[in-house]
């Protein structure tokens, strides 16, 4: 044995590895798999067969749609077979997302948002059961899927599949396309849970070529209605705050393209557009283009002619018929249902919006905020995309230029020409307003670009 003998490097190890995993699955699952369709009863066996120790795994979920059947299955795998996984996923929302760490199935984590599980996450980190790589914005995490955090296995959720494995994600397309693209084209395994398997899909959202297995879940995937809240619970203070925001910021800057965080504060603004804002003569001058889920609170503004277009991260339960009846406003497919896409909507918020309002867990007098405290690690989702000054931005809007003129720029080059390159102060004004006015806590939303990172 000569250790120095030239062993030719194998350059297709990932493809061979995928093929081996697929063959192993076919052998182990036997009659429980037909083409790409796997019987639900065999799901734990499938995961034990296609996931290997140390794999990077993406378990789809965000603040709405959850691949919950696959999450429950992952908790049930044998930790002797599947362990030390590195989870690379948008959220920790379900109890199962943390159980896999408690059981040693996973040990490392890169994520964006942990709202409902934030206290439990902090405890597990303190107990050294989870090693956190970083808390990312959604878009930042998606970016790393193509660079240094590409998943070996992704477990995603869709509305339906056909027998070939084409997926219909329906209104809640959300993160699915970007997860599947990064995984499928780097020799990874994509397992999709679907609510039903049908003969003909309403439309194809993900081509079958990109999907390894589909499994029908015994019940429809979990989905969170985020924005459907009773407007009667909006307080008078919130109405006053909304009026101040409309008159003091939206009107002053002529904000036409924007994103709103979740909650009664912003719902109050949305609801006041066709009354208070219209009385100020602002129709056609503010709030025309939105990067936003289809909030019910937007309906009066839509009906009142304020809104020209809405592009969405995800959808909202109960809004299906309204969206189909208002296709001039929303992005919809040939079937009439919403097309959402979190990656592109985050990008749109980052580069094509002039205003974002959100809240945070804590903030200092300089305006720096954090969503990681001693007892709670919440993360931030998309807010730093939305709320930051996109330094690569080059196009101008009235709001952006006005904010720029008011910004103290430590810059003396010849290119300034009266119009600033920065919208930071504008966003600061907006978010400061939100912060000063806000009484509700909206964890996971960062109103400022400059924030404190949580380090491992």
Q: Which of residues 312-371 bind a copy of itself (CB under 8 A)?
A: 325-329, 331-334, 339, 341, 343-345, 347-348, 350-353, 364, 366, 368, 370
Determine contact, residues 284/304, Cβ cutoff 8 Å. Answer: no
User: Within its chain, how far is the Cα of 89 from the centroid?
Assistant: 10
Among 186, 229, 247, 283, binds a copy of itself (CB under 8 A): 186
Among 203, 229, 283, 285, binds a copy of itself (CB under 8 A): 203
For the bound state, the minimum distance from the C-beta of residue 426 to a copy of itself, rounded and expressed in Å, comes to 14
∠ CA(303), CA(306), CA(309), 5° rounding? 90
Show the tokens assigned to 92: 């920790």
- Check residue 131 for interaction with a copy of itself (CB under 8 A): no
For the bound state, the minimum distance from the C-beta of residue 348 to a copy of itself, rounded and expressed in Å, comes to 4
Among 123, 129, 285, 289, binds a copy of itself (CB under 8 A): 289
By beta-carbon proximity to a copy of itself, the closer residue of 30 and 375 is 375
For the bound state, the minimum distance from the C-beta of residue 350 to a copy of itself, rounded and expressed in Å, comes to 6
Measured between alpha carbons, how far is 132 from 372 in angstroms, rounded to an integer?
12
Choices 5-13, 51-59, 192-200, 278-286 (CB under 8 A): range interacting with a copy of itself = 5-13
- Check residue 390 for interaction with a copy of itself (CB under 8 A): yes
For the bound state, the minimum distance from the C-beta of residue 293 to a copy of itself, rounded and expressed in Å, comes to 14
For the bound state, the minimum distance from the C-beta of residue 273 to a copy of itself, rounded and expressed in Å, comes to 17
Measured between alpha carbons, how far is 272 from 277 in angstroms, rounded to an integer?
6
Among 48, 55, 68, 110, binds a copy of itself (CB under 8 A): 110
Total residues contacting a copy of itself by CB under 8 A comes to: 96
For the bound state, the minimum distance from the C-beta of residue 10 to a copy of itself, rounded and expressed in Å, comes to 8
By beta-carbon proximity to a copy of itself, the closer residue of 217 and 425 is 425
49-108 residues in contact with a copy of itself (CB under 8 A) are: none
Show the tokens assigned to 401: 């230029």
Distances (CA, A) of 149 to 10, 86, 175, 224, 345: 22, 9, 16, 27, 21
247-286 residues in contact with a copy of itself (CB under 8 A) are: 256-257
Q: Using alpha carbons, select from 232, 251, 344 the residue that is nearest to residue 306.
A: 251
DSSP character string of 249-278 = IIHHHT--EEEE-SSHHHHHHHHHIIIIIH
Choices 36-44, 74-82, 95-103, 131-139 (CB under 8 A): range interacting with a copy of itself = 131-139
Determine contact, residues 380/416, Cβ cutoff 8 Å. Answer: no
Among 142, 227, 306, 426, binds a copy of itself (CB under 8 A): 142
For the bound state, the minimum distance from the C-beta of residue 206 to a copy of itself, rounded and expressed in Å, comes to 8
- Check residue 144 for interaction with a copy of itself (CB under 8 A): yes
Residue showing tokens 């639900």? 40
By beta-carbon proximity to a copy of itself, the closer residue of 155 and 338 is 338
Distances (CA, A) of 211 to 38, 60, 100: 12, 14, 24
Among 291, 355, 357, 378, binds a copy of itself (CB under 8 A): 291
For the bound state, the minimum distance from the C-beta of residue 408 to a copy of itself, rounded and expressed in Å, comes to 10
| Close Cβ partners of 402 (under 8 Å, ≥ 6 residues apart) | 252, 253, 254, 426
- Check residue 232 for interaction with a copy of itself (CB under 8 A): no
| Close Cβ partners of 90 (under 8 Å, ≥ 6 residues apart) | 60, 61, 62, 111, 112, 113, 138, 141, 175, 342, 381
405-424 residues in contact with a copy of itself (CB under 8 A) are: 410-415, 417, 419, 421
For the bound state, the minimum distance from the C-beta of residue 136 to a copy of itself, rounded and expressed in Å, comes to 6
Alpha carbons within 13 angstroms on the beta-carbon side of residue 281 total: 1
User: Within its chain, how far is the Cα of 434 from the centroid?
Assistant: 22
For the bound state, the minimum distance from the C-beta of residue 79 to a copy of itself, rounded and expressed in Å, comes to 28
Among 162, 205, 224, 265, binds a copy of itself (CB under 8 A): 205
Strands (E), 242-373: 257-260, 289-291, 309-311, 355-357, 362-363, 369-370, 372-373
DSSP character string of 403-429 = HHHHS------TT-TTS-S--HHHHHH
- Check residue 133 for interaction with a copy of itself (CB under 8 A): yes
């Amino acid at each position: 044995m000569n250790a120095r003998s030239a062993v030719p490097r194998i350059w297709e190890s990932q493809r061979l590895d995928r093929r081996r995993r697929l063959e192993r699955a076919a052998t182990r699952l036997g009659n429980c798999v037909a083409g790409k369709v796997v019987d639900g009863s065999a799901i734990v066996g499938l995961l034990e067969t296609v996931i290997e120790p140390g794999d990077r795994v993406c378990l789809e979920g965000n603040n709405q749609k959850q691949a919950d059947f696959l999450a429950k299955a992952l908790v049930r795998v044998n930790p002797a077979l599947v362990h030390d996984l590195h989870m690379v996923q948008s959220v920790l929302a379900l109890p199962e997302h943390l159980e896999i760490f408690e059981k040693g199935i996973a040990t490392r984590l890169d994520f964006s948002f942990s709202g409902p599980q934030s206290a439990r996450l902090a405890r597990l980190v303190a107990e050294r059961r989870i090693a956190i790589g970083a808390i990312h914005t959604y878009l930042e995490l998606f970016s790393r899927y193509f660079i240094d955090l590409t998943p070996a296995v992704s477990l995603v959720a869709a509305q339906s599949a056909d027998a070939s494995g084409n997926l219909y994600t329906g209104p809640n397309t959300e993160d699915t396309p970007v997860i599947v693209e990064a995984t499928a084209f780097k020799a990874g395994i994509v397992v999709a849970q679907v609510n039903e398997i049908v003969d003909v899909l309403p439309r194809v959202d993900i081509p079958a070529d990109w999907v390894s297995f589909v499994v029908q879940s015994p019940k429809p995937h979990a989905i969170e209605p985020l924005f459907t809240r009773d407007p009667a619970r909006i307080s008078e203070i919130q109405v006053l705050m909304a009026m101040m925001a409309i008159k003091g910021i939206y009107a002053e800057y002529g904000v036409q393209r924007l994103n709103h965080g979740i909650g009664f504060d912003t719902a109050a603004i949305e609801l006041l557009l066709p009354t208070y804002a219209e009385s100020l003569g602002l129709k056609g001058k503010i709030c025309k283009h939105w990067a936003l889920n289809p909030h019910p609170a937007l309906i009066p503004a839509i009906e009142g002619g304020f809104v020209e277009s809405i592009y969405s991260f995800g959808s909202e339960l109960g809004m299906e018929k309204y969206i189909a009846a208002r296709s001039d406003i929303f992005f919809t497919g040939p079937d009439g249902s919403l097309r959402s896409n979190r990656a592109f909507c985050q990008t749109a918020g980052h580069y094509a919006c002039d205003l974002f309002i959100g809240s945070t867990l804590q903030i200092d007098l300089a305006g720096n905020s954090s969503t990681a405290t001693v007892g709670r690690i919440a993360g931030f989702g998309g807010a730093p995309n939305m709320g930051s000054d996109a330094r690569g931005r080059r196009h101008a809007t009235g709001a952006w230029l006005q904010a720029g003129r008011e910004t103290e720029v430590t810059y003396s080059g010849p290119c300034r020409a009266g119009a600033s390159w920065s919208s930071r102060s504008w966003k600061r004004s907006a978010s400061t307003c939100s912060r000063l006015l806000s009484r509700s806590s909206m964890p996971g939303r960062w109103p400022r670009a400059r924030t404190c990172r949580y380090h491992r």
